[in-house]
């Protein structure tokens, strides 16, 4: 599991630059109707309960267009806000504020939605010892932002990308010549090329494959699309194997309704693709006035 988000500051810069470029291009025609020197004030309100995430992305949108703007937050990333609560105030050049509004809210609404959904899953498994993880099923170009939001919601990051972790899936197993061949190649890669702390995980689809993976020295095993009974059996097989330090990760069709039962089978990790790919923007609103 990745213990850090790589180059998050660079990601914020790139994300915001891209968002402003696609929205503004040569200029904001509508904002040009406002006097150039006019000053504005805005309040950001929550229209529904949620967990806030994406403050740096939101703030950078305004800073890029008006470096002298003043933004005061009543909340920080990872904190819950209730519907109707005002949690941010902005003062600055009115044109710049109106231009930045949509891009800034897009980031804040999306990332807060991810954090809110993650928190719901985390709360659902509270007390079981299971951890909630994200996946690579992210919106193109916003992976680090969404993985940051998962952390703000209390979840954990799986590998960031193909470059920082090895996840051997069924097609890799087939192409490599089997579970043992794939694992031995992975062990050799980490021994001689990749960083020594590189994650090595292998996916199994049957309990027999689980036994084989354990025999071959796997330390992190993804049990994919198994029933609750099969997950419990997997835990018993692991306990009987005498293999120390091995973790089981459940995945496949995990929902908020099913995640508690999955956690209670004794798995250590539960990866949930819907945290980042099936999200509905948190309803936030920016109210503007002349200062």
Question: What is residue 3's predicted lDDT score, i.e. its pLDDT?
Answer: 57
Mean pLDDT of 189-206: 91
SS3 71: strand
Q: 10 Å Cβ neighbour count for 103?
A: 25
Is residue 1 scored above 80 in pLDDT? no
Same-domain check for residues 270 and 286? no
Same-domain check for residues 77 and 168? no
Q: 10 Å Cβ neighbour count for 237?
A: 16
Same-domain check for residues 266 and 143? yes
Overall domain count for the chain = 2
Mean pLDDT of 272-289: 95
Same-domain check for residues 160 and 259? yes
The 10s digit of each residue's pLDDT in 162-194 is 999 999 999 999 999 999 999 999 999 999 887
Same-domain check for residues 98 and 127? no
What CATH number did the domain enclosing 154 receive?
A: 3.20.20.70
Q: Average pLDDT over the chain, rounded to whole?
A: 95
Same-domain check for residues 265 and 130? yes
261 belongs to a structural domain = yes
Residue 62 lies in domain:
8-116+279-290
The 10s digit of each residue's pLDDT in 149-161 is 999 999 999 999 9
**Residue 111 · residue 59 · CB < 8 Å:** no
Q: Band of the pLDDT at 196, cuts 50, 70, 90? A: confident
The verdict on whether 219 is a catalytic residue reads no
What CATH number did the domain enclosing 38 receive?
A: 3.90.1170.20
158 belongs to a structural domain = yes
Same-domain check for residues 112 and 153? no
The CA dihedral of 81, 86, 88, 89, to the nearest 10 degrees, is: 180
The verdict on whether 212 is a catalytic residue reads no
The verdict on whether 102 is a catalytic residue reads yes
The CA dihedral of 273, 128, 267, 2, to the nearest 10 degrees, is: 50
DSSP letter assigned to residue 165: E
75 belongs to a structural domain = yes
Same-domain check for residues 127 and 244? yes
216 belongs to a structural domain = yes
The verdict on whether 280 is a catalytic residue reads no
Q: Please count the CA atoms within 13 angstroms of the CA of 157 that sit on its side-chain side.
A: 20
Look up residue 38 and give its two tokens: 């006019």
Question: What is residue 7's predicted lDDT score, i.e. its pLDDT?
Answer: 87
Mean pLDDT of 218-224: 96
212 belongs to a structural domain = yes
The verdict on whether 283 is a catalytic residue reads no
81 belongs to a structural domain = yes
Same-domain check for residues 23 and 67? yes
Same-domain check for residues 154 and 80? no
Name the catalytic one among 79, 136, 169, 219. Answer: 169
Percent of all residues in the chain with a pLDDT value above 90, rounded to a whole number: 93
Name the catalytic one among 43, 79, 102, 219. Answer: 102
Name the catalytic one among 136, 137, 211, 219. Answer: 137
The 10s digit of each residue's pLDDT in 82-112 is 999 999 999 999 999 999 999 999 999 999 9
91 belongs to a structural domain = yes
Rounded Cα–Cα distance for residues 26 and 47 (Å): 33
Same-domain check for residues 161 and 192? yes
Same-domain check for residues 266 and 286? no
**Residue 186 · residue 200 · CB < 8 Å:** yes
Question: What is residue 9's predicted lDDT score, i.e. its pLDDT?
Answer: 94
3-state secondary structure 173-200: HHHHCCHHHHHHHHHHHHHHCCCCCCEE
Mean pLDDT of 128-143: 97
Name the catalytic one among 201, 224, 249, 269. Answer: 224
1 belongs to a structural domain = no
């Amino acid at each position: 599991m990745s213990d850090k988000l790589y180059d998050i500051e660079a990601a914020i810069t790139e994300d915001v630059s891209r968002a402003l470029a696609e929205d503004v291009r040569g200029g904001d025609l509508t904002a040009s109707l406002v006097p150039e020197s006019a000053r504005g004030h805005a309040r950001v309100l929550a229209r529904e309960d949620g967990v806030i995430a994406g403050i740096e992305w939101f703030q950078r949108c305004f800073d890029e267009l008006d470096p002298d703007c003043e933004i005061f937050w009543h909340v920080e990333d990872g904190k819950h806000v209730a519907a109707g609560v005002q949690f941010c105030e902005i003062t600055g050049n009115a044109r710049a504020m109106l231009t930045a509004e949509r891009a800034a809210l897009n980031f804040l609404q999306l990332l807060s939605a991810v954090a809110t959904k993650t928190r719901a899953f985390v709360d659902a498994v509270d007390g079981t010892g299971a951890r909630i993880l994200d996946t690579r099923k992210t919106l193109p170009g916003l992976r680090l932002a969404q993985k940051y939001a998962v952390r703000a919601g209390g979840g954990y990051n799986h590998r960031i990308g193909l470059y920082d972790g090895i996840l051997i899936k069924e097609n890799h197993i087939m192409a490599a010549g089997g579970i043992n061949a794939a694992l031995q190649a992975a062990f050799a890669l980490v021994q001689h090329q990749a960083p020594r702390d590189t994650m090595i995980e292998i996916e199994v689809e049957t309990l027999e494959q689980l036994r084989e993976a354990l025999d071959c020295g796997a330390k992190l095993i993804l049990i994919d699309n198994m029933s609750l009974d099969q997950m419990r059996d997997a835990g018993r097989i692991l306990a009987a194997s005498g293999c120390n330090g091995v973790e089981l990760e459940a995945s496949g069709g995990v929902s908020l309704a099913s995640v508690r039962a999955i956690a209670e089978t004794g798995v250590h990790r539960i990866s949930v693709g819907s945290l980042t790919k099936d999200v509905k923007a948190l309803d936030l609103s920016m109210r503007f006035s002349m200062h």
